[in-house]
Amino acid sequence: MSRHDGRVVDQLRAIEVTRGFTGSAPGSVYIRAGRTTILCTASVEESVPPWKDDPDNPSGWVTAEYSMLPGSTAPRKRRERQKIDGRSSEIQRLVGRSLRAAVDFSALGARTITIDCDVLEADGGTRTLSITGGFIALVDAVASVPERAGRQGAVFTDSVAAVSVGIVGGEPVLDLDYVEDSAAEVDLNVVMTGSGDFVEVQGTAESGAFSRELLDRQLDLATAGIAQLTSIQQEVLGERWPLDA
């Protein structure tokens, strides 16, 4: 199958990652896949939500917020001032759930890390790229905590990354951009750990049902793609990679 951008069916878009992109947050990652561009920042608060506050068993929390900047898409998206829209709310819950799957909250201690994912340009796959970049920012934020510096491995039980797959023109493909996503017969977002376990699978048949065989082929593509993304995360973090190689 020939894709409109020349990629083969199991090929990710070109990934660019810059850590320390801003100086105010301990975790700050600029991440780009094709034209989709996101700034993921991770901030640390030395407190937890009231429902999490238990002096006898102190533990931390990880949460996320997601927003598309007005110029990230055309036509212009209205700025979310008072109330976020349903899509943004659903995505930030997905990002938070996904990142929490990799964290030992007792080891994190009684503190909250907030991952902010701000979409600078949207060309498909913003939620999955937010998870992949958010994990890198989360590792840097944990490393900034003095008592955890050099001991991030105690906090992380695994790594997490995500990618989209779908059926386009009857064929399963990996890492859909907007052109493909808008025409896809099936659209899946897959979140997995670096060790190969599934965290979440969101799937929709956009135009008719699809077979188990096509589902398995999409999951196989996603598994291979996330293995590549995990390798990129490990390379980018270098000595800060919190898990055994």
SS3 67: strand
Over range 109-114, report the average pLDDT: 96
Token match 């660019």: residue? 16
Confidence band (pLDDT; 50, 70, 90) for 112?
very high
CB 160 within 8 A of CB 194: yes
Over range 118-139, report the average pLDDT: 97
Confidence band (pLDDT; 50, 70, 90) for 81?
low
May I ask the CATH class of domain 15-72+86-240?
alpha beta
**Paired residues of 187 in beta bridges:** 166, 204
Separation between Cα atoms, residue 22 and residue 28, nearest integer Å: 6
Confidence band (pLDDT; 50, 70, 90) for 82?
low
Token match 């943004």: residue? 88
SS3 236: helix
Q: What is the pLDDT of residue 30?
A: 98
Q: What is the pLDDT of residue 55?
A: 87
pLDDT at 226 over 70: yes
Token match 């999951």: residue? 219
Taken in order 28, 147, 64, 193, is the CA torsion positive or negative? Answer: positive
Q: What is the pLDDT of residue 71?
A: 73
Confidence band (pLDDT; 50, 70, 90) for 68?
confident
Instruction: Report if pTM > 0.85.
Output: yes
Separation between Cα atoms, residue 225 and residue 58, nearest integer Å: 37
Q: How far does CA 128 lie from the centroid of its chain?
A: 4
Q: What is the pLDDT of residue 149?
A: 67
Over range 84-109, report the average pLDDT: 93
Share of the chain above pLDDT 70, in %: 97
Over range 179-187, report the average pLDDT: 95
Q: What is the pLDDT of residue 2?
A: 78
Residues found in the chain: 245
Average pLDDT over all residues of the chain: 93
pLDDT at 85 over 90: no
pLDDT at 148 over 80: no
Beta strand pairing status for 160-168 and 171-174? antiparallel
pLDDT at 229 over 90: yes
Q: What is the pLDDT of residue 245?
A: 52
The residue extents of the domains of the chain are: 15-72+86-240
- For residue 192, what is the DSSP state? E
Q: What is the pLDDT of residue 191?
A: 98
Which residues, 6+ apart, have CB-to-CB distance to 122 below 8 Å? Answer: 36, 68, 72, 73, 178
SS3 131: helix
